[in-house]
Amino acid sequence: MHLGLAFAVGAVGFSSAAATWGAALLVAGSAMQAAGVTLNWATRTGDQFAERAPGFRLNSVATFVIWPGLVVIAWGILSRL
């Protein structure tokens, strides 16, 4: 996903501070997702949804980091087509 977005940003010439912030939010959110899954694995969580495990909470918070970054990147790409 990240490589595809990087290609799209480069193909349309979307290079600005907004592109940097959008990419940073996507990377931070993805890192939070990976940390949440790792936390679930380390705590041997069976069902993160039923148990409301700490990894589930981290994954949920990551959503609010990823979406703004995705919106900024998508807006930048679509506005330059």
Segment 19-28, tens digit of pLDDT: 888 889 999 9
Q: Does residue 5 sit within a domain? A: no
Q: Is the pLDDT score of 63 beyond 90?
A: yes
Task: Identify the pLDDT of residue 77.
Answer: 85
Q: Does residue 21 sit within a domain? A: yes
* d(C-alpha 7, C-alpha 23), whole Å: 12
* d(C-alpha 10, C-alpha 7), whole Å: 5
**Domain membership of residue 42 as a residue range:** 16-79
Q: Is the pLDDT score of 1 beyond 80?
A: no
Q: Does residue 23 sit within a domain? A: yes
For the record, the structure tokens of 28 come out as 């931070």
Q: Is the pLDDT score of 30 beyond 90?
A: yes
Q: What is the domain count for the chain?
A: 1
Q: Does residue 22 sit within a domain? A: yes
Q: Does residue 32 sit within a domain? A: yes
Q: Does residue 54 sit within a domain? A: yes
Is the pTM value of this prediction over 0.85?
no
Residue partners of 77: CB distance under 8 A and separation at least 6: 8, 9, 12, 14
Residue partners of 41: CB distance under 8 A and separation at least 6: 55
Q: Does residue 73 sit within a domain? A: yes
Q: Is the pLDDT score of 4 beyond 90?
A: no
* d(C-alpha 3, C-alpha 58), whole Å: 24
Q: Does residue 11 sit within a domain? A: no
